[in-house]
């Protein structure tokens, strides 16, 4: 198995002008507290891993600047899951067995997350927080409360897509979806909701990642001349079949699931063919948390945080640090039990810009309610969250937020 392994050794001092302090927390020292991360550096989501790692490293730098975790520096092992359930599972197993991590963060996809949960984190009793898994199957996992996620379920996202399709007065739709738990689930929820509202899904076409062409799948989707095509695939596959659709002469419209929100993707496949298209994303209104994160990110990397899943990644690492501190030990069961005490109300509201205060409160035995870059991460009894769903569009060749939120 080919894998990329990074040990992020973070002893960096950031000048945190935005952080409200509550006393000198001291420099972290001693044996580091090391969490594991399975991100995608290859495969259909190859572009995500390195960008997500940057957000994770920023979060750990913020934590270490606030005194670290249990007085020790926070570090991470990053391993490539290759956008593949089997590879992700092997990576997670190595983190648990070889590196002895008590908390595992990631992967991105539902298929990989479910595989890792069922084969690694649940049987080995490790805290597991997925950055972006959306499959409804996550809700009903028999996981002894070890598995959480920072992304809202397809049960809500599919309904939001269907609502948007109905509002646009589309009567027929064709869905092209990645043939995995994410795509199967989102397609099913969208279809049920859209048809319940009076629409008709005339084609549900699965696609397998990694193909050089999806001409057959495109032809199948377009055969009935749908009013709208709804792609539910990852970036690598979208780059192939969106170009093929654009070159086919299809005159209908598009409605996009969250993975498609990428300016570079549309520039590559010919953005003019998608002018006026709408899509959804899990997002949060601009507020103090998003502003603080953007400021810290730009200070560290010299660019705005525009890639997908940066906020979710940052939030997950911050929550892991707060939970370990609240537990008073880096043991998975105790950290699991502390997680809602740093993420859910009641508790003092804290955010990305006041991490020194947040850690100070937790060290004093107080509960906190972390309000993150991606909004409130209040975990329910199933480890699920609810988040705002934003609507984006392509206007004059640019992918941009409409300022509107869809409430399923």
Model pLDDT for residues 62-79, shown as the tens digit of each residue: 999 999 999 999 999 999
Per-residue pLDDT band for 25 (boundaries 50, 70, 90) equals: low
Could you tell me which of 310, 235, 322 has the C-alpha nearest to residue 56? 310
- 230, 161 Cβ separation under 8 angstroms: yes
Per-residue pLDDT band for 19 (boundaries 50, 70, 90) equals: very low
Could you tell me which of 393, 315, 298, 309 has the C-alpha nearest to residue 355? 315
Q: What is the C-alpha to C-alpha distance for residues 164 and 230, in angstroms, rounded to an integer? A: 11
Per-residue pLDDT band for 287 (boundaries 50, 70, 90) equals: confident
| Structure confidence at residue 139 (pLDDT) | 94
Q: What is the C-alpha to C-alpha distance for residues 378 and 369, in angstroms, rounded to an integer? A: 8
**pTM of the full predicted structure?**
0.86
* Mean pLDDT to the nearest integer, 173-201: 97
Please give the angle made by the CA atoms of 393, 184 and 257, to the nearest 5 degrees: 5
Q: Is the pLDDT of residue 27 over 60?
A: yes
- 321, 71 Cβ separation under 8 angstroms: no
* β pairing state of 103-105 and 127-130: parallel
- 174, 231 Cβ separation under 8 angstroms: no
Structure tokens at 78: 């990053």
Percent of the chain with pLDDT over 70: 94
* Mean pLDDT to the nearest integer, 200-226: 96
Per-residue pLDDT band for 342 (boundaries 50, 70, 90) equals: very high
Structure tokens at 395: 């206007």
């Amino acid at each position: 198995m080919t894998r990329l392994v990074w040990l992020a050794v973070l002893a960096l001092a950031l000048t945190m002008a935005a952080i409200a302090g509550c006393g000198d927390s001291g420099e972290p020292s001693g044996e580091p507290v090391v969490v594991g991360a399975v991100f995608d550096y290859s495969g259909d989501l190859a572009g995500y891993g390195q960008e997500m790692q940057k957000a994770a490293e920023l979060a750990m730098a913020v934590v270490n600047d606030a005194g670290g975790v249990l007085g020790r520096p926070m570090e991470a092992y990053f391993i490539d899951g290759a956008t593949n359930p089997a590879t992700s599972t092997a990576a997670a197993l190595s983190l648990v067995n070889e590196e002895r991590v008590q908390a595992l963060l990631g992967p991105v996809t539902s298929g990989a997350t479910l595989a890792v949960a069922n084969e690694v984190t649940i049987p080995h009793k490790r805290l597991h927080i997925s950055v972006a898994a959306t499959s409804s199957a996550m809700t009903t996992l028999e996981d002894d409360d070890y598995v959480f996620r920072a992304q809202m379920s397809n049960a809500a996202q599919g309904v939001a897509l269907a609502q948007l399709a109905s509002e646009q007065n589309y009567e027929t739709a064709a869905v092209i979806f990645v043939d995995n738990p994410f795509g199967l689930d989102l397609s099913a929820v969208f279809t049920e909701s859209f048809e319940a509202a009076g629409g008709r899904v005339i084609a549900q076409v699965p696609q397998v990642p990694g193909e050089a062409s999806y001409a057959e799948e495109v032809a199948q989707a377009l055969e009935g001349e749908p009013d709208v095509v709804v792609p539910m695939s990852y970036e690598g596959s979208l780059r192939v079949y969106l170009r093929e659709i654009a070159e086919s002469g299809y005159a209908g419209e598009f409605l996009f699931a969250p993975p498609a929100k990428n300016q570079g993707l549309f520039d590559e496949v010919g953005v003019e063919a998608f002018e006026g298209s709408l899509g959804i994303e899990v997002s949060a209104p601009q507020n103090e948390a998003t502003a603080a994160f953007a400021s810290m990110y730009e200070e560290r990397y010299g660019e705005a945080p525009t890639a997908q899943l940066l906020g979710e990644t940052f939030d997950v690492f911050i929550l892991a640090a707060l939970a370990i501190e609240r537990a008073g030990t880096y043991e998975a069961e105790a950290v699991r039990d502390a997680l809602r005490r740093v993420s859910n109300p009641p508790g003092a509201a804290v955010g990305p810009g006041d991490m020194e205060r947040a850690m100070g409160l937790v060290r004093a035995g107080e509960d906190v309610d972390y309000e993150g870059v991606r909004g409130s991460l209040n975990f329910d009894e199933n480890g699920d969250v609810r988040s705002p769903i934003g609507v984006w569009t392509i206007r004059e060749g640019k992918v941009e937020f409409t300022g509107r939120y869809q409430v399923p």
